[in-house]
Amino acid sequence: MKKIAVAMSGGVDSSVAALLLKRAGYDVVGITMRLFSCSRIRCGSCCSEQDRLDARRVCTHLGIPHKTVDLSEAFKSRVIEPFVDSYLRGETPSPCILCNEYLKFAALIDESCKLGVDAVATGHYARITTDSDGRSHLLRGLDHDKDQSYFLFPAVGGALGHLAFPVGDLTKTEVRALASESELPVHEKAESQEICFVPDNDYAAFIECERPDALRGSGAIVDTSGKELGRHRGIHAYTIGQRRGLGIGFGERKYVVKIDAERNEVVLGDDADLARGEMTVRDVVWACETELPMQAGVQIRSTRKAKPARIEDADFGTVRVVFDEAQRAIASGQAAVFYDGDEVVGGGWIAND
């Protein structure tokens, strides 16, 4: 590869990715996605006007060109609308994965091809290796505490050959040090842990503003036997495993253990009621042809560790995952990513059983 585009978010990680590629002798161009055309959404990290200005400042500092591409329509249809729909179905979505799949791994690669580049690089903490047959493999980042391979699993379906993750072999501390040593304008910039398009991290308020006509309204909060305990504001305001903000006082801790969209009910139970030993995973993609059943490490949240499980074939594009030990708070709408050691071998979306 001679020419490479870097997805510049205005943050430290993507800025150091561009720095490393330029040092390595690549012809680098920075590309920033414009994801919003609606000013009422107060954007967070990687999306705001300030972030775009920061990305441009970094590119000027590095002496590389900077381009902005308007992907706001794709972002709305591929990320925001599915995010809202998922909550209205009683699920817990993971919009960052959709953003990676449909924008960074698809739309941004297409836009970059127009510039004559060979690949798109991002600041994700993950690694890509190539075997003797020329096949690419997605691995966890060297810094397991910052690893983001969970969010990248759709890339194993074919996009890996067009991607690069320059900071995947570094720790966050090393990335910060490189940014400081190189006097990058963003070297002290804090990173955001919130979803960029949700103001104040208030998911329920965002959904109520985006789709007021689709809300089911108040419904019953019940226990596992069906006894009504109170009323909820709408199922979109609840997630599996939630304990706070239930609006009901108990002498002991209660958790959301089920969200029944059809009945418009939120079911509460004890911590033990959150444990499940099996789940169905839909829309599965594999890194290569895979023979089932198979043993793998299965990760069900970005903040969880992969746990040993048996993956069995079900209907087309769907698998059944049976854990060696029951897992807590398995939530439909989240991703389930399959690992062989550090390598991502596949993944999909947890179905509402």
Angle, vertex CA 7, rays to CA 304 and CA 201, nearest 5: 50
Q: What is the largest CA-CA distance in the chain?
A: 67
Report yes or no: 95 and 195 within 8 Å, Cβ to Cβ: yes
Active site residue 99: yes
Distance of CA 332 to the CA centre of its chain: 14
For 250-266, letters b (16+ CB in 10 Å) and e give eeeebbbbbbebeebbb
CA-CA-CA-CA torsion sign (72, 78, 83, 88): positive
Residue type, 107: A
**213 CB-near residues (< 8 Å, 6+ apart):** none
Catalytic residue from among 59, 99, 113, 209: 99
CA distance 103 to 107: 5
Q: Please state the φ and ψ torsions of residue 213, each to the nearest 5 degrees.
A: -75, -15
Catalytic residue from among 47, 96, 196, 288: 196
CA distance 223 to 203: 24
Tokens of 13: 């990680």
Report yes or no: 58 and 8 within 8 Å, Cβ to Cβ: yes
Instruction: Say how many CA atoms lie within 13 Å of 236 toward its Cβ.
Output: 21
Active site residue 196: yes
Report yes or no: 271 and 260 within 8 Å, Cβ to Cβ: no
Residues labelled as active-site residues:
99, 196
